[in-house]
Amino acid sequence: MIKAMRPDEVPHTLRRTRSSSSRKLTPIEAQALYRELERDAGFRQATLSGWDAGRQNSTDPRTAASILFLERSEGWEFRARGYLAEVGREEARMDAEELRASLGEAQSEVRLLKNQLVEQRRLAERSTRHRTDQLRRDLSRARERIGELERQVAEETRESARWERETNAAWDELTVADNRYDDLRKRYRLKTKPVSARSSAGSGGEVGFIRDPLEAARMLDQMVSYWEVGSDSQPERDEPRPKLLELPTGMDPRSGGAMQWVYYEAPRLILVVDGWNAAHYWNSHRRVPGKPDLGTIGFITTKLDNLAEYSIGRHQVLLYLDSRHVSGLDLDWDNRFISGRLTGFYVEDADDAIAREAAGRAGERVAVITSDNGLAERCRAHGAVILASEALAEWMASSPV
């Protein structure tokens, strides 16, 4: 209504509300409007005049209470309370109807859920019965299968016992035949005298002829088997054995990739390491001057131990060290030490020991780590694969273990 008034008819405090584009008052604006209507009788009269006749004659209790509030006639408060009580009753009736509607919807939903529960229970019972029947059938088949297997085991046990009895009887018969053979041989020798080669030659008899018929039969059987093979047949020649271990084609044995192949791809092998040679090349790789010490050997030992433990083939590592390079060793020093899958040896000549190791393992997959050309040739002659100490140094510099 205040939006339809002239600006000079609207109180100063309500002019912002009049210029607002909103069609609904906020609680704060409604309180400000109520205070102005309560305070300013002229504003109430102007508001009432702005209402049309139809609204003033409306039977709506809210509108009637509002008109009484604006007119302020005698006894208006009592009549306004009656209108407001009627509004409250109407709101209560509408709330009751909404509650009854919500209750009806809730009851319908409860009935639907009960029906769904009954249906789900029925399906669950049917599924349970079906599964129970299936389990019973499976159990029955399993019991039948167990019975069949027990019968088969019993039959095989009887068959095994029968074969054992027949085998024992055959051994007994063979023992009896051997005893009979020995007895006949003894009795025959008692009846006949052996003829020496010299007396047989003097009497014109056949030299070297075996008088024992059983021995002669065995000799004839051997001769016949020889003739069946053929005297002109050539003995079979052994074909050269294929190499048990080879580096992939194009791989440089001096590169770290060769050791990567040993760690990630190679099958289980015996890795024989020329210890002091590897230590020298490790110092050279790090550009450390001077001879390697036992600390360097300890580092290499740890790396090789981890290689053996975590490599794809879980290789066995043999580390050979010349004892003359180790100072301070006692005469009773143990020349062998073990660390995980690594075995180390202190020997007088590591080259000879490594060559002997390669020769003794000619039928196994062996890889030798050394940059000594002479030692490499000696080991290669026995089928060993040669990896350079440079490859080991490069791998240790960036190894994952």
Please write the tens of the pLDDT for every residue from 300-336.
Answer: 999 999 999 999 988 999 999 988 776 655 454 557 8
By DSSP bridging, strand 316-322 and strand 270-274 are: parallel
Category of 349 on φ-ψ map: left (φ > 0), alpha (ψ -120 to 50) or beta: beta
Whether residue 227 has pLDDT greater than 70: no
- Residues 61-79 have pLDDT tens digits of 877 777 777 777 777 887 7
The C-alpha atoms of residue 6 and residue 3 are separated, in whole angstroms, by: 8
Give the pLDDT score at 201. 42
Give the pLDDT score at 15. 63
* Band of pLDDT at residue 134, cut at 50, 70 and 90: very high
Whether residue 370 has pLDDT greater than 50: yes
Give the pLDDT score at 13. 66
Torsion of Cα atoms, 390 then 393 then 395 then 397, to 10°: -140
For 243-252, the CB contacts below 8 A with 24+ separation are 243/383, 244/363, 244/364, 244/365, 244/383, 245/269, 245/365, 245/366, 245/367, 245/383, 245/384, 245/385, 246/385, 247/385, 252/391
* Band of pLDDT at residue 81, cut at 50, 70 and 90: confident
- Residues 270-308 have pLDDT tens digits of 999 999 999 999 999 999 988 898 889 999 999 999 999
- Both tokens of 59, joined, read 């039977």
* Band of pLDDT at residue 397, cut at 50, 70 and 90: very high
- Residues 95-115 have pLDDT tens digits of 898 899 999 999 999 999 999
Whether residue 204 has pLDDT greater than 50: no
* Band of pLDDT at residue 3, cut at 50, 70 and 90: low
Give the pLDDT score at 236. 44
Q: Is the pLDDT higher at 361 or at 13? A: 361
Find where tokens 């009637």 sit. 64
Do 61 and 87 form a contact (C-beta atoms < 8 A)? Answer: yes
For the segment 167-186, the average pLDDT, to the nearest whole number, is 69
Q: Average pLDDT of the chain?
A: 79
- Residues 239-256 have pLDDT tens digits of 444 467 899 999 999 999
- Residues 32-54 have pLDDT tens digits of 766 767 777 777 777 777 665 55
Give the pLDDT score at 233. 45
Q: Is the pLDDT higher at 86 or at 47? A: 86
